[in-house]
Chain A
Amino acid sequence: MALQLRKMLQKGMSIAVLVPLLSMTFLLTGCWDRTELNDLAIVTAVAIDKAEGSGITLTLQFANPSQMGGQQGSEGGGGSGKKPTITKQAEGETIFEAMSFIQQQLSRNIFWGHNQALIIGKEVAKEGVQPYVDFFAHHPDPRLRSYVYVSEGKAAEVLRLLPQLEPSSGDIARELAKLKTGMSVTIKELLQMLNSDAGSAALPKVLPIFEENEKGGLQITGTAVFKNEKMIGSIDEEVTRGVLWLRDEIHLAAVKLSPDNTEGFISFNLIRSHTKLVPKIENGIWEMQVNIVAEDDIVENQTNLQLTDPQIIQQLEELLGEKVEERIYMALNDVQQELKTDILGFADAFHRKYPAEWDAVEDDWEEKFLEVKVTINSKVYIKRLGMSVAPQGVPKEEVKRTE
């Protein structure tokens, strides 16, 4: 009897404990950091401009959720007249301060996780970017993979632009970076550049092109060159190509050639290339050997050359190599002799191969860089001829071959 009572009591006890414990789960469903998607204002791009007084003007571009999804079919969501992105602006000494002012204008929490691009205004770039990059590596929300640009004019203009093909100008910026027509730099890479031996950085420059009202596109207009986190100059698109060859970052390159004894051009499309920097120090002379191996396809032929002729191809390969070298020498001249800034990765290459010699010149690299002798050895292969092997539309007897 007593035993039974005890058992019952135990059972009662365990129920008495279990019921409140289980009912607690209802209270514990929402915790402090519960976030619903419709409580978030998703940042797609950030722009930093110089404020009129001191500090910066921060512009944030937010995705407009009601306009983002179903616009694949309709043109740019144009029908409803609503914008796919919204921009908000505030001033502050720090990014976080300005951001908190923007937060006051919003009914949703600012969420950085999907930020695609950071656009830095030219004026801020000239005064130094270092104070503003820390936030992106410090605050837990932004990711290091956002792409960084310097804008030609006001950075906010880039965000105000409503793109035609992509959902937001932040997305265009990301896609442009991935196409690699110009420099393509993520926040992580910018941090690495600022910490690098050369202490210099290069960021792509972007220009918004407004076509009708706020609609338009973005264009890469060259590269901004930084020395010690301050923008000191810029190079145009063509020079940028040369720099990309040297940095082994060239991805898209359209080259046209006009061979001797013919009229018109042949166009080539770069398929892949590899650049290797081989530093050499001999008798105190610092030399950089640039070895380039590239592969091009022929995509257009205005001349009367028969392309199945190996000798013609060989001549074209040589001409292409010269053309590439010419471009690079031109870029080199601009970067080495005029901007006097090592954005080519030479410092790291020397440091890696000659650590002891590097230590000696580390503090005077700026001068030493000017003395570095550069030789370029390029080899371009034309592997595929394209869909036509002889010029179309040229009478058979006029097609030229080697005898």
Chain B
Amino acid sequence: MENGRISASQMALMMYPVVTGTGIIFIPSLTANAAGNDMWLSPVWAASAGWIAIFTALHLHRLNPNQTIIQYSERLLGKFLGKVVSLVLLFFYLVMNGGGVRIYSDFVTGSFFEETPTYIIVSSMMLLSAFAVRGGVEVIGRTAEMLTPIYILFLLLVFLLILPDLRPENALPMLENGFTPSLKGAYTPQSWFAEFFVIAFLIPYVKKEKTAARWGVISLIAVTLTFTATNLAVLFLLGEDVTAKLNYPLLDAIQYISIAEFLQHLESIVMAIWVAGAFVKFTVIQYAIVLGTAQVFELTDYKALVFPLSFLTVLFSFWGIVGEADSTYHSSTVFPLTSLIMQTLLPLGLLLISYFQKKTGLFPR
């Protein structure tokens, strides 16, 4: 079905924006609310969900070579149950991507294009990502290879330019109330890190599978550093109280940049780059959904599904989400739990069954 192949490094570059794309908007404020001035520590704890996701995805692939999670869950759980689980997982990703596109578009309309209707932003983004998905995994991999480095470069530039305004003492006293607040702050970001499980859809198409583990880990470490650096930057600049009250602290931080009154008002450039990163994110998830659906229904080609499913994603970005309050509430209460079940516990369960099967040889291969 998928004849394209990507390199492990392309996979890493695809995964980086998957996690940071929308996370970087929400995570600083959410973690500041829960963890106070230990907010920078929360992503480090939250990364454990990413480690688990990469570990399970890689081991599942080792035990079930050249198959995506849709294919091996059917083999491990039986045809009926396997298909049900696969559909539930795909439904989860559909809701997640719809919600993600909505977060993105609310951010764009809320801070820049105030009068542009949400559906324009949502559907133009989904149309573009549909074209990329139709191109297959190779096209997405190369797109990521081109866009993600620029994305990372601009983030680094932002951190560099904001440096003169940072006050590190805002982080003190550290661990005033022990580790509990920072662990609480990790509850929401863990769901973003768990998105690393999407590699379960990509590993079968990685050229040198052995390097997949290394590049997966590199990507995870890069994401952890990014979130920690982002949280540190907004904490050092704004302090915990102001950060917790702001909706998009990183945007405020970028707007605060002023070097010699010349290098300022950078947010529109940063925004353009950020949209590129968000595009990679939605495309990768959308690809997983489309490929997975085609595999569940055992189609010969997934191309016919691209546009209908992208349209469905657009619908999911509206269903049940009236406004930004719903998105924020969903991201901080419902999503962490469903993500824990679908992206952490379910794969761990499959891995257990897989091990059991290998040890006992009970189920036919």
Instruction: List the interface of chain A (C-beta within 8 A of B).
Output: 31-33, 113, 137, 140, 143-145, 188, 191-192, 195-196, 348, 351-353, 355
Contacts and interface: CB of A to CB of B under 8 A. Distances in A.
B265 to A, nearest CB: 7
Given A143-B256, A144-B255, A145-B256, A188 B242 contact: yes
Contacts of A144: 252, 255-256
A82 to B, nearest CB: 25
Contacts of A348: 169
Contacts of B256: 143-145, 188
B110 A32 contact: no
A65 B107 CA distance: 31
Contacts of B241: 192, 195-196
Interface in B25-80: none
A195 B173 contact: no
Nearest to A192: B239
Contact of B113 (A33, A143, A195): A33
A352 B172 contact: yes
B107 to A, nearest CB: 10
A33 B252 contact: no
A195 B242 CA distance: 7
Contact of A188 (B110, B117, B172, B238): B238
B333 interface: no
Contacts of A33: 112-116
A145 B258 contact: yes
Contacts of A352: 169, 172-173
Contacts of A145: 255-256, 258, 264
Given A32-B113, A195-B242, A143 B255 contact: yes
Max count, chain A CB within 10 A of own CB: residue among B112, B117, B238: B238
A33 to B, nearest CB: 4
22 contacts: A31-B113, A31-B116, A32-B113, A32-B117, A33-B112, A33-B115, A137-B245, A137-B246, A140-B110, A140-B112, A140-B114, A144-B252, A144-B255, A145-B255, A145-B264, A188-B237, A188-B238, A191-B242, A192-B241, A196-B241, A348-B169, A355-B176
A399 to B, nearest CB: 43
Given A32-B120, A195-B241, A196-B239, 13 more contacts: A32-B113, A32-B115, A32-B117, A33-B114, A33-B115, A33-B116, A137-B252, A140-B111, A191-B242, A192-B239, A351-B173, A355-B173, A355-B176
Interface in B313-346: none
Contacts of A143: 255-256
Interface in B230-273: 237-239, 241-242, 245-246, 252, 255-256, 258, 264-265
A353 B173 contact: yes
Contacts of B172: 352-353
Contacts of A140: 110-112, 114
Contacts of A195: 239, 241-242
Interface in B167-187: 169, 172-173, 176
Interface string B5-41: 0000000000000000000000000000000000000
Contacts of B176: 355
Contact of A32 (B116, B238, B265): B116
Contacts of B237: 188
B42 to A, nearest CB: 19
Nearest to B111: A140
B119 to A, nearest CB: 12
A195 B169 CA distance: 15
A72 B179 CA distance: 58
A191 B112 CA distance: 23
A196 B167 CA distance: 14
B238 A192 contact: yes
B315 to A, nearest CB: 22
B255 A192 contact: no
Nearest to B177: A355
Interface in B199-246: 237-239, 241-242, 245-246
A32 B109 CA distance: 11
A113 B114 CA distance: 14
A291 B165 CA distance: 23
Interface in B83-129: 110-117, 120
A32 B121 CA distance: 11
Contacts of B255: 143-145
A137 B245 CA distance: 9
A315 to B, nearest CB: 36
By Cβ-Cβ distance, the 3 closest A-B pairs, closest first, are: A195-B241, A352-B172, A32-B115
